[in-house]
């Protein structure tokens, strides 16, 4: 019997588990829904960093050092733009630019972000479905000590340094989930929160229209993988944000973000002693290696999740 899985993903961490799942599930059994709150316009081009990270990872083209962007990249166009006086703090490579040009062109022709993502995915040889969380415009805004910052300004330009006070999702309430997302919510046996930042990558997905309510009433099993291991974020600013929000970074506090939205919480072996505290929140706890370095690590974690869903 096949198990249909809906995976919610942000950038690098989410893409790793999505890859593991894609190696185990047939295309009709996996939909990866991706955060687009980080999307931004650079040099007139629509950039969807998390969609691209997932697409490049699933097609085997991602830069292994950074996790985002393409391998074997050059930056000639960016150098030219710098010479012309453009603001070039966001590292867009020559090959990567082709993706953004295609996306921008197709959007200008009236295609939806879902249609563009499908076309780009197929061109990259990806058989599994990757869908944006919404075709509407939602933008993650980080309120900081130096004022509100658009996500990439906060993340890349300011290297997450300004102290954050809150996060909001401009356009989230008015947005509608993409058709692929709605269909996956209605037909999947399980929903997986990949180990992505709960505040910056998963929260925007939950803030789209009535998604949070839909997830609350999701009939299948909902499983979250903690992006915090041993009190540290595997990548990015999750632990720093938790501290700034007055929370001691731990997998328990990530689990608290998912109360009512998650049935099973997966933590790393090093956090085994926190299992009881998470169980007290009303979730079943699975303990395994969650640190995905090699492709085998990604597949092993994917298998663990599929086995759990299959019971
Ligand atoms: N992240 C950086 O830290 N610096 C960059 O210059 C940068 C460029 C970039 C270009 C294309 C792309 O798809 C992603 C890029 N990222 C960069 C990653 C991106 O900012 C973040 O990984 C996500 O938005 C957070 O998940």
pLDDT digits (tens, 9 = 90+) for 236-290: 888 888 888 888 889 999 999 999 999 999 999 999 999 999 999 999 999 999 9
Q: How far is CA 285 from CA 35, 225, 277, in A?
A: 25, 10, 10
Give the integer Cα–Cα distance in Å for 225 and 211. 19
* Average pLDDT, integer, range 60-64: 96
Name the domain count of the chain.
1
Minimal-distance CA residue to ligand 1 atom 16: 68
- Using one digit for the tens of pLDDT, what is the confidence trace for 189-211? 999 999 999 999 999 999 999 99
**Phi, psi at residue 98, to the nearest 5°?**
-60, -40
Place of tokens 């950038």: 11
Least confident of 62-66, 90-94, 107-111: 62-66
Residue 92 Cβ inside 6 Å of ligand 1? The answer reads yes
Q: Answer yes or no: is 68 within a domain.
A: yes
Task: Tell me whether residue 257 is in a domain.
Answer: yes
**pLDDT in the model for residue 241:** 86
Contact 278, 301 (CB under 8 A): no
- Tens digits of residue pLDDT in 34-56: 999 999 999 999 999 999 999 99
The Å distance, Cα 139 to ligand 1 centre, comes to 15
Domain that holds residue 203: 5-142+170-310
What's residue 282's pLDDT?
Answer: 96
Q: Is 261 within a domain?
A: yes
pLDDT higher than threshold 80 for residue 1 = no
What are the tens digits of pLDDT across the range 144-162? 999 999 999 999 999 999 9
Provide the Cα torsion 225, 230, 231, 232; round to 10°. -80
pLDDT at 116 over 90: yes
- Residue located via tokens 């803030």: 207
Ligand 1 centroid to residue 189 C-alpha, Å: 32
Pick from 12, 39, 68 the residue to mutate for probing ligand 1's pocket: most ligand atoms within 8 Å of its CB.
Answer: 68
Q: Say if 228 falls within a structural domain.
A: yes
- pLDDT in the model for residue 188: 97
Residue 8 has pLDDT above 90, yes or no: yes
Beta-bridged to residue 168, according to DSSP, are 141
- Tell me the average pLDDT of the chain: 96
Q: Which residue from 58, 70, 91, 199 has its CB within 8 A of the most atoms of ligand 1, so it is best to mutate?
A: 91
pLDDT average, residue stretch 108-116: 98
Tell whether 116 is covered by a domain.
yes
Q: Which residues contact 91 (CB under 8 A, 6 or more apart)?
A: 69, 75, 78, 156
Domain CATH code at residue 193: 3.40.50.10680
Report d(CA 69, CA 46) in Å as an integer: 15
Q: Whose CA is nearest to atom 14 of ligand 1?
A: 49
Domain assignment present for 163: no
Contact 130, 51 (CB under 8 A): yes
Ligand 1 center to 216 CA (angstroms): 31
- Cα angle at 276 between 272 and 278, to 5 degrees? 90
* CA neighbours closer than 13 Å in the CB half-sphere of residue 244: 18
Kindly state whether residue 220 falls inside one of the protein's structural domains: yes
Task: Count the residues in the chain.
Answer: 311
Considering the domain boundaries, does residue 165 fall inside one? no
Q: Kindly give the distance from the C-alpha atom of residue 49 to the centroid of ligand 1, in angstroms, as a whole number.
A: 6
Question: What is the atom index within ligand 1 of the atom nearest the CA of 53?
Answer: 13
Token pair for 111: 């295609």
The pLDDT, as a whole number, for residue 136 is: 98
Report the pLDDT value the prediction gives residue 235, as an integer from 0 to 100: 78
Nearest atom (ligand 1) to Cα of 67: 22
Gap from CA of 69 to ligand 1 centroid (Å): 7
141 within 8 A of 170, measured Cβ to Cβ: yes
Cβ of 52 closer than 6 Å to ligand 1, yes or no, is yes
- Higher-confidence position of 311 and 28: 28
CA–CA gap between residue 14 and residue 86 (Å, rounded): 32
If you take atom 26 of ligand 1, which residue's CA is the nearest one?
11
Lowest mean pLDDT across 79-83, 133-137, 170-174, 226-230: 226-230
């Amino acid at each position: 019997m096949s198990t249909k899985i809906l995976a919610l993903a942000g950038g690098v961490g989410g893409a790793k588990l999505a890859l593991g799942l894609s190696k185990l599930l047939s295309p009709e059994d996996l939909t990866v829904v991706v955060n687009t709150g980080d999307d931004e316009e650079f040099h007139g081009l629509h950039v969807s960093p998390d969609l691209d990270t997932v697409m490049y990872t699933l097609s085997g083209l991602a830069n292994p050092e950074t996790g985002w962007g393409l391998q074997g990249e050059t930056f000639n166009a960016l150098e030219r733009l710098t010479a012309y006086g453009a603001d070039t703090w966001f590292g867009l490579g020559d090959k990567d630019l082709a993706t953004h040009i295609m996306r921008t062109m197709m959007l200008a022709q009236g295609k939806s972000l879902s249609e563009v993502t499908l076309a780009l995915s197929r061109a990259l040889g990806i058989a599994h479905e990757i869908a944006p969380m919404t075709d509407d415009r939602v933008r993650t805004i980080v309120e900081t000590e130096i004022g509100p910052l658009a996500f990439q300004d906060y993340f890349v330009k300011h290297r997450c340094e300004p102290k954050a006070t809150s996060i909001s999702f401009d356009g989230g309430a008015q947005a509608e989930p993409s058709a692929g997302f709605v269909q996956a919510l209605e037909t999947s046996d399980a929903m997986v929160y990949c180990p992505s930042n709960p505040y910056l990558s998963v929260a925007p997905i939950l803030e789209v229209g009535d998604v949070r309510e839909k997830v609350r009433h999701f009939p299948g099993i909902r499983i979250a993988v903690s992006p915090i291991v041993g009190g540290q974020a595997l990548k990015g600013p999750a632990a720093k944000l938790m501290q700034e929000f007055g929370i001691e970074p731990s997998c328990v506090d990530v689990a608290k973000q998912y109360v009512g939205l998650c049935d099973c919480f997966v933590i790393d072996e090093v956090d085994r002693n926190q299992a009881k505290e998470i169980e007290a929140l009303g979730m079943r706890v699975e303990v395994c290696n969650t640190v995905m370095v090699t492709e085998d690590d990604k597949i092993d974690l994917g298998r663990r999740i599929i086995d759990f869903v299959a019971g």
